[in-house]
Amino acid sequence: MREAACVGEDPELFFPVGTTGPALDDIAAAKRVCARCPVTSDCLNWALGSGQTAGVWGGMGEDERTALLRKDRERRRRRPAHDDRPTHSDRPTHSDRAA
């Protein structure tokens, strides 16, 4: 992901200590970098698929990713076995759409 907007940024920006106080400023700054990134979807999908629990990935913080995964798990649990609607891991990534 050489074209990622975070390349060249301080990695610590994306891994603030805590989720309150000054860490909120770092989280907001990291999300601003993600907002201008052409591979945000790929980044988020990788983080979700590889179980990243810390930091800002794909424009989402730790709590946001946890909530997204929980919602996805609940949706899959309630969905009938024959239902083929896509889940987050089935959604096309940025590179899929560009092809």
37 assigned to a ligand binding site: yes
- Rounded to the nearest angstrom, the gap between the alpha carbon of residue 28 and the centroid of all alpha carbons in its chain is 14
pLDDT of residue 97: 47
46 assigned to a ligand binding site: no
27 assigned to a ligand binding site: no
Q: What is the pLDDT of residues 62-91, one digit of tens each?
A: 999 999 999 988 988 887 666 566 666 555
Distance CA 96, CA 86 (A): 15
Distance CA 78, CA 95 (A): 30
Q: What is the pLDDT of residues 15-40, one digit of tens each?
A: 999 888 999 999 999 999 999 999 99
Domain ranges of the chain: 13-80+92-98
77 assigned to a ligand binding site: no
